[in-house]
Amino acid sequence: MRKNYMFTPGPTMVPPDVLLAEAAPLIHHRTPQFSGILREVGEALKELFGAAGDVYIVTGSGTASMEAAIANTCSAGDKAICVRGGKFGERWSELASAYRCEVVDVDTEWGRSFSAEQAQELLELHPDAAVLCVTHSETSTGALTDVEAIASLTRNSDTLLVVDAITSIGVHRVEMDRWGADVVVAGSQKGCMVPPGLSFIAASPRAWEAVEASTSPRYYLDMRAMKKNWSKYQTPYTGPVSLVRALHEALAMMREEGLENLYERHRRLAEASRAAMQAIGLVLVAEHPANGVTAVWGPEGVDTGKLTRKMRDEYGVTIAGGQGHLKGKIFRIGHMGYVSEDDLLICISSIERALRDLGYDFEFGAALSTAHRVLFGE
């Protein structure tokens, strides 16, 4: 018998109660019952986002809300500063180009974090920029960006701060209003512990001014329609009833755990993962690591694609490899959402087994014992 575990940085493992909620009999999306569920989900999302304003649900993966962010705040010819420090930072640039913005690409070495000093320089160089697009937690490298520090600059400028928080919502504390971020997007399949298919978007009051002024073509992703319908706790078009019911259950679980406990659990899992990998001589990719995913350089001579395939096909433990130019060079451990301390130990043990089988010479068991000490102090 073999059990399967998934430690990818999205999609993540889904709790049984969330799966059962998704499997419940359908209700119609234009009923008081569904509107009541949307209302409760909306209040919980506002708490996760640190936002007083509404957080809208978009039927589509995180990229859908990223596109909505660009389509609703920019017009053709607007200048968009896009920080490209990984695969998903590059997506901001691709989306802004698709909407015919004047794109200013800022290439940051993968694994390094975009700094407030860099933001200050860019804002001074491009005071006419409509948006500055950043990634809070870069999934492809495990790097964390200090959005709070950057927001302290943009809120005193005419440039809107647009944030991809897809791998940080539910993992790190996000304080959209207090920080002064203007648009924040997230997705269901990461820290929120729900299958893929939903994303979320919230906008500040000054971002709404840009939404109203934008001349970009919009229809399905028009935030004006989202706002109009959300006032009645409805979606503009057919609502994703089953996924929203799953989200309702997942958010209830998160609130029961308590957000402070939730963030602390992710911190401990991340600390244990990083310490375990370093204990066997491996090097982290990220300069400032995030708590949702640990990206690790593979040992010299080991193709990390072979590592991930061996773990998945032989052990039933799935982690992620590298993307883009890091394919075959790094591996990524996702430890967000429905991941316990014991789950993580299974993952780390499997990594050690696979590395040994692939010929890497290290003290077998050192990673597992290190993680155990970090998690349990023994």
Instruction: Check whether residue 125 and residue 91 sit in a common domain.
Output: yes
Residue 376 in 3-state DSSP?
Answer: helix
The last residue of one of the domains, among 197, 226, 256, is 256
The three-state DSSP-derived secondary structure of 69-118 is HHHHHCCCCCEEEEEECCHHHHHHHHHHHHCCCEEEEEECCCCCCCCHHH
CA-based Rg of the chain, rounded to a whole angstrom? Answer: 21
- The per-residue pLDDT for 152 is 98
- Looking from the CA of 360 toward its CB, the CA atoms found within 13 Å total 24
CA pair distance 292, 10, nearest whole angstrom: 10
Instruction: Check whether residue 327 and residue 274 sit in a common domain.
Output: yes
Instruction: Check whether residue 44 and residue 157 sit in a common domain.
Output: yes
CB neighbours (10 Å) of residue 264?
13
Low-confidence ranges of the chain (pLDDT < 50): none
pTM for the predicted model, two decimal places: 0.96
- The per-residue pLDDT for 2 is 81
Whether 243 contacts 61, CB under 8 Å = no
Instruction: Check whether residue 159 and residue 303 sit in a common domain.
Output: no
Which CATH number fits the domain that encloses residue 66?
A: 3.40.640.10
- The per-residue pLDDT for 250 is 98
Identify which of 186, 221, 178, 223 has the alpha carbon closest to the alpha carbon of residue 52. Answer: 178
Identify which of 110, 115, 103 has the alpha carbon closest to the alpha carbon of residue 139. Answer: 110
Whether 145 contacts 67, CB under 8 Å = no
Instruction: Check whether residue 305 and residue 187 sit in a common domain.
Output: no
Enter the DSSP assignment of 330. Answer: E
Instruction: Check whether residue 317 and residue 334 sit in a common domain.
Output: yes
CA pair distance 99, 75, nearest whole angstrom: 7
Residue 92 tokens read as 């901001």
Which long-range contacts does 348-351 make (Cβ < 8 Å, 24+ apart)? 348/272, 348/273, 348/276, 350/311, 350/315, 350/317, 351/277, 351/307, 351/311, 351/319
Cα–Cα distances in angstroms (integers) from residue 62 to residues 11, 160, 176, 187, 192, in the given order: 11, 19, 18, 5, 12
Type of residue numbered 54:
D
- The per-residue pLDDT for 1 is 74
Query: Does the N-terminal peptide bond of residue 196 adopt cis geometry, omega within 30 degrees of 0?
Result: no
Which CATH number fits the domain that encloses residue 356?
A: 3.90.1150.10
Instruction: Check whether residue 243 and residue 265 sit in a common domain.
Output: no
CA pair distance 309, 11, nearest whole angstrom: 17
Instruction: Check whether residue 175 and residue 292 sit in a common domain.
Output: no
Instruction: Check whether residue 162 and residue 220 sit in a common domain.
Output: yes
Name the domain count of the chain.
Answer: 2
Structural domain including 252 reads: 17-256
- The per-residue pLDDT for 304 is 98
The last residue of one of the domains, among 241, 256, 271, is 256
Instruction: Check whether residue 145 and residue 46 sit in a common domain.
Output: yes
- The per-residue pLDDT for 28 is 97
Instruction: Check whether residue 30 and residue 109 sit in a common domain.
Output: yes
The last residue of one of the domains, among 200, 222, 256, is 256
Tracing tokens 């004006």 back to the chain, one arrives at 224
- The per-residue pLDDT for 378 is 66
Rounded to 10 deg, the angle between the 259-279 and 241-257 helix axes is 80
Instruction: Check whether residue 38 and residue 186 sit in a common domain.
Output: yes
Tracing tokens 């694609």 back to the chain, one arrives at 305
Sign, CA dihedral 351-353-358-363, equals positive
Residue 314 tokens read as 């032989």
